[in-house]
Amino acid sequence: EIRLPLHTSDEGDIGREFLEAFQNNDRDIPTILTSSKMLTTGVDAKNVRNVVLTAPIKSMTEFKQIIGRGTRVFEGKDFFTIMDFVGATNLFYDPAWDGEDLPSNDAGEKQPKENDITRHSELDSESKVSEDRQKNEKVTIDIKGKKLRVINIETTYVGMDGIPLKTEDYLELLIGVLGKFYNDEDGLREIWSNPINRKDLLNKLREMHIDESQLNDLKVIFEAKNSDIYDVLTHISFNLNIKTRAERVLHVENSEFVEKFHNEKAKEFIEFILKRYEKDGVKELDEDKLGKLVDLSGLGTVREVARNFGGIPQMREEYFLLQREIYR
């Protein structure tokens, strides 16, 4: 259930009731509140996760107040998202947003900082069709000697200091962060092909304010919707070609790994997992997902399905080995 209260600045008591419901941080369902001017000042709502801009903003003071609705700190809230349909976020580039740049002894370009990153996409409703087509064309960017082709979309990542990072700057920042966890493809594969290690990496990245939703956004940048995050990471880290999940599944289906299962029920379950992975991605391979996959397969209870592998420990072991084969 998602509550959709509508409220404007002149709705009196009714509007204030909606506002109080929106401010209630104990609610366990999302709440969407629409407003005209009411949320710009004097509203204490700490757990705002999304700010949607649908009207032009001419005042820098008003813009700062609106963006401030999302910057409030709340437990479990690592970032907030700005969805801009009118180009209002161009005000981030106005010197009045954060004042003039301080003099620097370094004549080079300002390097992105490792800090909280909030992403937002600028969608200009008045854009012409030709402009949209141009944005979807691929451009080549050079990051630390790696030439990467990305879609020319207007995606900006904004840090806690309020300085926007364009896609190129964000990718450079991300490459630097990822380099702390692995040195080559084998190192990344060793982490990603094990669900325990993969979860640990994702948790550490989240602590550095890079969450899975941001990693999934990379699929859009590289037109890799049907690929694994792993392949996008190998591309930006080592310039390797991006494979689709379907290609990875086909490799496993034609490998000795599948053929080794003489028990047809065991083979059927492995093939079911592969289909789920191809359709929905790496989340289907989480360590705690095995029991749910058994239920979804319709092949029997956990004990019944595990019997085809020789027992529950053996089934779990094959589940882990399957993932090593997927990322081989």
Question: Comparing C-alpha atoms, which of 111, 119, 183, 180 is closest to residue 155?
Answer: 119
Residue 68, burial from CB neighbour count under 10 angstroms (0-12, 13-18, 19+): middle
Q: Which residues contact 17 (CB under 8 A, 6 or more apart)?
A: none
| The pLDDT value given to residue 258 | 93
| The pLDDT value given to residue 142 | 58
- Compute the distance between CA of residue 80 and CA of residue 268 in angstroms, rounded to an integer: 42
| The pLDDT value given to residue 96 | 80
- Compute the distance between CA of residue 170 and CA of residue 166 in angstroms, rounded to an integer: 6
| The pLDDT value given to residue 3 | 45
Distances (CA, A) of 281 to 216, 229, 230, 289, 291: 11, 9, 10, 12, 17
pLDDT above 60 for 21: yes
Q: Which residue has the tokens 């397969």?
A: 297
| The pLDDT value given to residue 103 | 60
pLDDT above 60 for 148: no
**Count of CB atoms within 10 A of residue 45's CB?**
17
The pLDDT tens digits of the residues spanning 58-91 come to 888 888 888 887 888 888 888 888 988 888 888 8
Tokens matching residue 21: 């419901």
Exposed e or buried b for every residue in 294-305, given b needs 16+ CB within 10 A?
A: beebebeeeeeb
Alpha helices in the chain (DSSP H): 12-23, 60-68, 95-98, 129-136, 167-178, 185-192, 195-207, 212-221, 229-238, 245-253, 256-259, 264-280, 290-297, 302-307, 312-326
pLDDT above 50 for 275: yes
pLDDT above 90 for 2: no
**What average pLDDT does range 26-52 have in this prediction?**
73
The pLDDT tens digits of the residues spanning 198-254 come to 999 999 998 887 888 888 888 888 889 999 999 999 998 898 999 999 999 999 999
Q: In the sheet that 117-122 helps form, which strands lie side by side, from edge to edge?
A: 50-53, 81-84, 117-122, 155-159, 164-166
Lowest mean pLDDT across 25-39, 67-81, 262-276, 278-292: 25-39
Please answer whether residues 140 and 147 qualify as being in contact, where contact means their C-beta atoms are separated by less than 8 angstroms: yes
- In the chain, domain spans: 245-326
Distances (CA, A) of 45 to 48, 83, 172: 6, 18, 34
| The pLDDT value given to residue 68 | 82
